[in-house]
């Protein structure tokens, strides 16, 4: 692991790091915020997965999470959204390829060689973070925005022992029924739709729910509502009687101004469950 930068932030340290990842077979960049409490011992850890076109940097600089994490004593991890490098497959469209990994393990050419973001986030980067930073191994929560919200919910529902808390900002809630999903799942996983269901929040909630409680915030003026399909997830949560708080926030769009506005609520949600 190589340190790219470390800066003081709200009494803690915001760092950016690179390492040679085996799951994605390329160099990966990620960011970690350590609150001031981490100087005295290991702290709980909140993962933030970013959305389409983003890197580790977008949420690190725009979401305003550090102040709240310092207040509650949480470490933050900001992974990248896809593999990177000259040898990594890409597409001219913004919603496929680099910046659009969708947190799946691709099985189709040319994506399968590098696009294994599911394994990278769940296993490889987690092991590295736990080895190199003072975080509690059994106190991890996960959240994310848009494509990252999709990733957070699907990773948590498929691996309930890995995460103790879950939330999302404007997640892509039903990708098997949306143009933000069908295109990418076909490319990464193939045309057989039976392989897609494990990466659809609405279908996963309907199949088994989530026992730990879930906080979802969605802007009511989000310009991408037809692609996100929040009504599908809301209905699945109700049908499965999953403990949840689903809030349609009037006047808010899909931007990081929306994420900033409710970042404190989400940090508190996780901190209360990661004590």
Q: Is 146 a catalytic residue?
A: yes
CB 170 within 8 A of CB 177: no
CB 108 within 8 A of CB 240: no
Q: Which of 68, 140, 150, 254 is catalytic?
A: 254
CB 63 within 8 A of CB 217: no
Q: Is 222 a catalytic residue?
A: yes
Pull the structure tokens for residue 118: 């599911």
Q: Is 5 a catalytic residue?
A: no
Pull the structure tokens for residue 97: 């390829």
Residue written as token pair 């499965």: 240
**Coil, strand or helix at 139:** strand
**Coil, strand or helix at 196:** coil
Closest C-alpha among 105, 215, 212 to residue 161:
212
Q: Which of 9, 50, 146, 244 is catalytic?
A: 146
**Coil, strand or helix at 128:** helix
If one counts every other C-beta atom within 10 angstroms of the C-beta of residue 261, the result is 17
CB 110 within 8 A of CB 10: no
Pull the structure tokens for residue 182: 């069908």
CB 22 within 8 A of CB 113: no
Q: Which of 82, 165, 222, 244 is catalytic?
A: 222
CA distance 158 to 244: 17
CB 135 within 8 A of CB 129: yes
The residues assigned a catalytic role are: 146, 222, 254
């Amino acid at each position: 692991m190589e340190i790219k930068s470390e800066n003081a932030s709200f009494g803690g340290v915001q760092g950016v790091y690179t390492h040679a990842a085996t799951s994605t077979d390329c160099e990966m960049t990620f960011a970690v915020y350590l609150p001031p409490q981490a100087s005295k011992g290991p702290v709980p850890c909140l993962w933030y997965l970013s959305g389409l076109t983003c890197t580790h940097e977008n949420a690190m600089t725009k979401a305003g999470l550090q102040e709240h994490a310092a207040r509650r004593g949480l470490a933050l991890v900001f992974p990248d959204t896809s593999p990177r490098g000259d040898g990594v497959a890409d597409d001219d469209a913004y919603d496929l390829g680099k910046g659009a990994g969708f947190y799946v393990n691709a099985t189709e050419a040319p994506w399968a060689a590098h696009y294994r973001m599911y394994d990278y986030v769940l296993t490889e980067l987690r092991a590295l973070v736990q080895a190199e930073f003072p975080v509690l191994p059994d106190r991890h929560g996960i959240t994310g925005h848009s494509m990252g919200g999709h990733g957070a919910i699907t990773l948590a529902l498929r691996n309930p022992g890995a995460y103790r808390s879950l939330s999302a900002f404007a997640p892509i809630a039903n990708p098997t029924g949306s143009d933000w999903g069908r295109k990418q799942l076909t490319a990464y996983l193939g045309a057989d739709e039976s392989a897609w269901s494990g990466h659809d929040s609405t279908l996963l909630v309907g199949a088994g729910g989530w026992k730990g409680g879930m906080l979802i915030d969605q802007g009511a003026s989000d310009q991408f509502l037809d692609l996100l399909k929040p009504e599908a997830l809301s209905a699945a949560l109700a049908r499965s009687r999953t403990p949840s708080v689903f809030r349609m926030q009037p006047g808010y769009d899909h931007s990081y101004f929306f994420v900033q506005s409710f970042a404190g609520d989400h940090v508190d949600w996780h901190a209360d469950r990661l004590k």
